[in-house]
Every structure is written in structure tokens, then in C-alpha cells.
Chain A
Amino acid sequence: MSLRLILLCLLGALTLPLAAQDRLPPAPYAYQQLNDPAKEARAKALMEELRCLVCQGQSIADSDAPLAGDMRHEVRSKIAAGESPDEIKAWLVARYGNWVSYDPPFDGATALLWLGPLLFLAIGGWLAFGRFRRGKDDAEGGA
């Protein structure tokens, strides 16, 4: 994955001058915080949880891609208008799927991630149990 990212970055650096970016200034709320610190904190928390569509692997809070800036503008505008972070997230998930969130819900696709550690712990316990019992058998056999 990291090798691929590095390659992508190199490719991006090579092609950027060719693939001309748009010449518009960033959207108002792309780089400007909301005046209300409480609202800005809510917006910031949500932006860190949303995945950038262009520079996949970065959150929209971290990305300098124009579309990420426009998404930050969207998030901050909606928060300023009184929408809750959950509503905004649901709005985006309806459009881009769970992919857009770094905190996907527990479902068929993520079950192994959540239950995997328990599963491996159980397997480890079972192995350890088997080993201890064998040790006892060996000791008895030797006596």
C-alpha cells in the first residue's frame, strides 16, 4: 500500500503541471474556521472522520485537493446552518456509501475486523490449553 502511495505521489508530481487544476479560489469555508468555536469543533471532528474522494487515504481535513476543500465548505456550511454531524454524515453516506467514512458501522463487511481479535484470542486460548494439557500428560507418562 505504501509503495503504491509513493508511486502515486511521484506520478501525481509528474502529471500535475499537465493536468491543469482549476483556477478558482478555494470555497469560503475550505480554509476558514467557523466563528463559533463549539460549531467549529463539531465540524472539525466530522471532517477528520470523512475520507477525501480524490486523495484516497487522507481525511478531508488533511487534504489540499479542491474537492476536499469544497467538502469542508459543505460540512462547515451545514454545521453553521444547524445540522448535526450525524445528519451530515448520513447525507454523505447516502451519496458515497460507507466508504466515505473512516468510522463505518458494524455490518457484514466489517464484522471480521471487530470480531477478529476475539476469534484469534479464542484460537490462541485453545492452542495454549492443548499445550498445557499435553505437558501434564508428558509429566505423567515420565513418572
Chain B
Amino acid sequence: MKNRWVLFVPLAIMGLLFGAFIYRLVTPAETLIQSQWIDKPMPLFDLPPATAGVEGLKSSQLADGKPRLVNVFASWCIPCRAEAPQLEALKAAGVPIDGIAIRDRPEDVAMFLREYGNPFDRIGSDMQSSVQIALGSSGVPETFLIDGKGIIREQIQGVILADQVPEIVAKLEAMK
């Protein structure tokens, strides 16, 4: 008679599976794909200037002893506009920032800089997202913290929020 409970085991398993499916349906999995290219050297690249009047970006320039940010952005990226004030605040705090413009046209980049300010020391133009892919980046905006030796230490996905600014300044300071 006791063995009869065994008959309910398949039903219980089905119930558990069903519960698991419902759970995942209601609370979707994390869809941000984080870069695995962390604590690794910057991939080698040499990007032409993204627009007139601003220098292009070479990977060798990122190992000059000064920790810095590399901001992956685009003029067509709406959230990047919301990020502009935070980049300005970081620049004001003495953080060197270089940019990589993804799939962008020089005239559009120029307009973006005119409208939202230019916190960038250099901006490389990544027309075919090849440097973005080499970085393990999957969208815009993303920001990479680079130490003085050109090693990528951290990836920030999405817009940098105002309350993250002091933390980023402190992290780069600690890398000196």
C-alpha cells in the first residue's frame, strides 16, 4: 500500500517542471551578455577619427600609464544622450575618456558632440563594429575601465548613472 505513493512521483515531477516554466515565464532571465574579455589587454586596433577635429584612437594609446575610460557609443543611440552629463562630470573630475563610435557617420558624430558636449580626448570610428566585437561588447552605450597598462579591468553596460560617477573616479584612482 505504501508503494502507491510512488505513482504520484511522475505527477510531482511534472508539477515541479511546470512550476519552473511558469517561474521563468514570469521572471525572465538576465539578458545582458557580459564581456568575458576582462583582465585582458585591449585588443589591437587602429581606428580612424570619427569626425573632423577629433583625433582617432589606437589601442597603443591606451597603455600610457594613465587609467582611463573607453566609452562605446553612437550618435544614433538614444540612451547615449542621457549618459552625456555623467561623462562630462567624469571629465570634470579629471578622468581621461576616449570614445569608440559604432556604425556612425562623421556628420552625425559632429552633430552629437555639438548638441551633447564632447568629453572625449579621442574618438575612433568603428564602422563595422569590429572593435566592439573584439571587446565582447554587445550594445551601446558601454564603458570600459582601462588601467595604465592597457588592461581592461571592468565593463559597465548601459548608461552610467549619476550616483556611479564617484565610484568610477575612485576605481580609476585606485588603479594608479
Contact = CB atoms under 8 A, between A and B. Distances in A.
A115 to B, nearest CB: 16
B138 A54 contact: yes
Interface residues of B, number: 32
Contacts of A74: 128, 130, 133
B6 to A, nearest CB: 6
- A-B pairs, top 5 by smallest CB distance, nearest first, are A95-B136, A70-B129, A53-B138, A22-B103, A27-B128
Interface of A: 1, 3-4, 18-24, 27, 53-54, 56, 66-67, 70-71, 73-74, 92-97, 99-100, 123, 127, 130, 134
Given A70-B128, A70-B130, A127-B10, A22 B139 contact: no
A66 B36 contact: no
A27 B128 CA distance: 6
Contact of A71 (B6, B31, B133): B133
B interface SS class: loop
B9 interface: yes
B129 A66 contact: yes
A1 B127 contact: no
A20 B76 contact: yes
Interface string B16-28: 0000000011001
29 contacts: A4-B25, A18-B78, A20-B76, A21-B76, A22-B102, A23-B76, A24-B105, A27-B129, A53-B138, A53-B139, A54-B138, A56-B31, A66-B103, A67-B132, A67-B133, A67-B139, A70-B129, A71-B129, A74-B128, A74-B130, A74-B133, A95-B36, A95-B133, A95-B134, A96-B33, A96-B36, A96-B136, A97-B33, A127-B6
A4 B76 contact: no
Contacts of A96: 33, 35-36, 136, 138
B74 interface: yes
B64 interface: no
Contacts of A23: 76, 105, 108
A27 B102 CA distance: 12
A73 B34 CA distance: 22
Interface in B81-106: 102-105
Contacts of A22: 74, 76, 102-104
